[in-house]
Amino acid sequence: MMKRAITLLLLSMLCLSSLPTSASGFEAPIYGGGTFKLSDYRGKVVVLIFSQPTCSHCKKFIPLLADAWRTDPELSSGRYVAAVAMYSPSNPQAVLPAFRSYNPPSSWILLTVSWSHLLYFGIKYTATVVIIDPSGNLFVKIEPEDVPYIPDMVSVTVKKVKEAYYRLVDLEVDIPSRVEVGESLVVSGTASGVNGVRIVLVSPNGVEEEYSAMVSSGHFQISLTLSEPGEWVVRVIAGSTVEERRVRAEISSGVHFRVLYGEHDREAASILGLEARKAGDELPDGNIIILGGPKANELAARLNEELGIVVDIDGSKGIIKLGDRVWRFQVEYGRSDYALVTSLERSGRRIVLGEGLTRFGTRVAAIKIAEGGIDGVIIVRWMDDNGNGEVDPEEVEVIFRGSWP
């Protein structure tokens, strides 16, 4: 009876022990155009339902699952993604009519899969359901061979889908609270019941990057590099369990600096991850970094006058002058800017100036100071290439590097 009810895909040569523990690399064509990537659905449960147009089991099971999906508010909450993966290489025209015959919810996705996609998950029978948890781990594979009674397979599928989202994982993480910029940040810990964890790294300006680490014998470890100073967020996700830590990245210079910032330049100062306060009219002792042009920072205006530096803007016309050297720029506020960054010894201490033509330029200056290696004079340009209105490090370019005149 089972052999008549289920379309058997002859995959006897496939070794089930070779199945992927992390499914994040799975990709398949979306019917009508585009690519379905599991990595795009991190944080959600993904349900893959493998089917064939001629599969009699599919014609009974999938419509019942579709009805259950439509009538269950939890499954329609947006936490779950369902995709019917249709295998029909000999008759591609049958794919869409078969999918429509299942009366799927409008949110369901139709994929056209090949033999390699079946091999990826070791699919032996169509009407097999593969469930991926929010961390991209293979949670369970439900085969009609194991649950032959169709209403039971529907209820088991619904139950397992919800378990994949709500299961709690015993998760412990070990992350240092401070690290030097450019050094490795080691994220490690233990997790039970999962094959991998997801790590989300959030930079001080809110940019997110995602990584994954395999769990072996209950342990995981990954090394990351914090590229700029400031407060970073490290978020470790295993199943529905989330642990979050804050890490302060600091400049490694061997010399202590204080930051004195001008009006509207507090955000720029936060990039440096150092002791910072708004500049007054007195120049304190010790090594200092002065952020902000002369209109925003009284100390910058005072030092510029003493050193023969001009940093000024009139409308869209900017000028930077250093002794006999003069640079003139066209500036578009919030779209392009320039900055002077210079380092000098004065009365036995180090003074670093970071002056933008506008506050965007001062942020540019802070990024370059954070990178280190400031010796002499540099002129830096920023162009908002991606149009997000923010100063991103990859948009910053040094256009002049030299010594004091």
Segment 202-243, tens digit of pLDDT: 988 888 898 888 888 888 898 888 877 888 999 998 877 888
394 has a pLDDT exceeding 90:
no
330 has a pLDDT exceeding 60:
yes
CATH code, 171-250: 2.60.40.1930
Model confidence at 22, in pLDDT bands (50, 70, 90)? low
CATH code, 2-166: 3.40.30.10
Relative to beta strand 258-261, strand 230-238 is: unpaired
Averaged confidence pLDDT in the chain? 86
CB atoms under 10 Å from CB of 220, counted, come to 24
* Domains 2-166 and 258-402 agree in fold: no
Determine the pLDDT at residue 282: 85
Domain spans of the chain, in order of start: 2-166, 171-250, 258-402
Segment 80-115, tens digit of pLDDT: 999 999 999 999 999 999 999 999 999 999 999 999
Helix (H, G, I), strand (E, B) or coil at 1: coil
Mean pLDDT of 161-182: 83
What fold does the segment set 258-402 form as a domain?
Answer: Chitobiase; domain 2 (3.30.379)
Model confidence at 296, in pLDDT bands (50, 70, 90)? very high
Residue 132, H or E segment: strand 129-132
Give strand ranges (E) for 285-324: 288-291, 309-314, 317-322
Segment 113-122, tens digit of pLDDT: 999 999 999 9
Model confidence at 10, in pLDDT bands (50, 70, 90)? very low
List residues bridging with 283 in a β-sheet: none
Q: What is the pTM assigned to this prediction? A: 0.48
Tokens describing residue 297: 């920072």
Work out the percent of the chain whose per-residue pLDDT is above 90: 49
Model confidence at 252, in pLDDT bands (50, 70, 90)? low
